[in-house]
Structure 1
Amino acid sequence: MDYSLKKLLKIIFSVGLFISIFSCTTHKPDIQDSAPTGVIDLSRAKPVVVTNLEKSPYGNPASYEVRGRTYYVKKDANNYIKEGIASWYGTKFHGRRTSSGEVYDMLALTAAHKTLPIPCFVKVTNLENGKYLIVRVNDRGPFVKDRIIDLSYAAAHMLDMTQKGTAKVRVESVSVNEKNTSTSKDKGNIKLASAPSNYDWLESQHKGKDRFVQVGAYSVYESAQKLAKVLDKEINLPVKISKIKRKGQYLYRVRIGPINSLKIAESLAKTLDIKELGKPRIVYED
C-alpha cells in the first residue's frame, strides 16, 4: 500500500478537504499548544539564509476557504509590507507536517502566513521592542481574526513575545539582495518537546482488541463523512465513522482499520500527520 505524502496532500487540496474540515466543523484537539519543556540551546535556531527557492507544489493553491472566508494566494511576495498582530505555535505541531509538506520544527526560524507564497522570506519586527529577524514562510495560518502571521516558537522567543503570546509587528518581504540579521543577542535556553513515545505499553494494555488509526473527531457528522469518503477511495483499508457521546455532545471519529500490523499503523499515522487534518493517533476498539 502506498501512503505517499504527495498523494495525500494532493487529495486534501484538490477535493477541498482543507476547506470542508475548517469551514464546517468545530475540531476539538486533545492536545493544547504550549511552550516546550526541557533544556536545549537556542543555537539550534540557525539564521535564515535568503535564497531563491521554487514554490511548494502543495502549499500554493490559487485560493482556499477556511471558516467561510476565501483566501487568495499571492503569486509573489514582492513589496509586501503589513502591520498587525503576530502569534506563535509550539509543541502541539512540533514534528508534524506543515502546509508545504515539510515537518514543523518549532526551533527553526519559520512562520505561517495566510496568503504569501510558500516558501518566501519575510522580516518580522516587534514594534513593541524594536527587535527583528528574518523567517522563512512554510505554512498556512493563523486563521484567527486580526492576526497576520504565526511564528515558530524560536522566532517568537527571539522577539521576546512568547510570554505575552502575541505582539504588534511589521512584516516585510525580503529579497535575496537583503542581509539576514537579527537583534537577538542572548539566545538563552529553552526546553525541547519530548519525543513521541512508542506504542509498546498501549499494545500490552489492549491485547486482543482491534487496532485503528484515528484521523480526527468532529462535532458535525457531514464533515466526518466527507473526510471518510476521501480516505476510503484512496486507502486500501476499511474507513469507518465511530460515534461517541462526551459531555452531552456527540463526536464523530474517523477511523481507519482494523489494522493487523502495528508497523503499518504507525507508518500510516505518521504519513497522515498533516496540520490540516489534525493529529492522527493509534487507538483500539472501545
Structure 2
Amino acid sequence: METGIRDIVLKWTAVVVAATWIIGCGGSATKPSPPPPAFPKAPAKKPSVTSPKKATQRPYKVGRNWYQPIPHAHGFTQKGIASWYGKKFHGRKTSNGEIYNMYAVTAAHKTLPMDTWVRVKNLDNNRSIDVRINDRGPFVRGRIIDLSYSAAKRIDMVGAGTARVEIFALGAAASGEPSSKRPPAFVPVDYNKGNFTFQVGAFKERKNAERLRQALDRRYKNAHISEYDSPDGLFFRVRVGRITDLAQAEAYEQILIEDGFNQAFIVAE
C-alpha cells in the first residue's frame, strides 16, 4: 500500500443522509373495538418470486450518497442495529428484481453481494437466523441490516422494532439451488485475493476528475479515471492505489473511517 495516500483522500468526504420510516396506529376511545391486527395473515397464495437477476456490483445512488457493493463476502462480519420491514413493502420489487415476501427469511444490506447468506444474531437474547440478501438498505444512520418480518420474528425483535445484532457472512447459494431456499451447503470461495483500489472522488465533468487525477499522479501510483454511465448521467470516478489483499484493503478503509472520512471506499477492478 502506498504510504501517504490517506492525506489525499481525507479531503474527499460526504455526509451520509438517512431517512426513517415511522409506522403509527390508533383506535377509538368512545366504544370498545376489536384489537387491531398487528400484521396481515399470510395469504393463501404467497406472492411468486421472480427469477432473481444476477447480482449487480455497480455503485448505486440514494439521495446524495453513492454506495459501492463490496466485491466479496468471505469473512465478512459486522455489528450494529438491525431493523425490519413488513406489510408496507409486501409484494413490491426488491433491488435484485424479486418480489418482496415478508414471510420469507430475507434481508436488505447496503453493500453485501446479492444472494449472500448471512447469520444474524440478536445480541440481546442470543437468538439467530440465517437469511439471504435480496435487497438494498436500510438507509438510516446506524442501521446495518433490514430483516423481513418473518426473520425479525424468529429472533424476537418485531415488538421493539430494532435490535443490536452481529452478522456473519456464510457464503453464496450453491450453483443450481433455488436462491429462495437456504442451501444445505455453501460454496467455499477464496475472496481474499484480487485487484483492489480506492475511489476518492466522482465527478460529472471530466476536467474536474482530471484535475484531481493529476494531483494524485504527482505523488502516488495508479491514479486513474474510470467512467461510469449511470441513470443520472456519465460520471468520472477517480481512483488511486493498488492492493491485492482484501484484508489489507479493509484495514486501510477502517483507518479512513476512524479518522472520520468514510467516502473513500474499496473497489475491485
TM-score normalised over the length of structure 2: 0.47
Q: Work out which structure has the larger RCO, using CA pairs closer than 8 Å and 6 or more positions apart in sequence.
A: 1
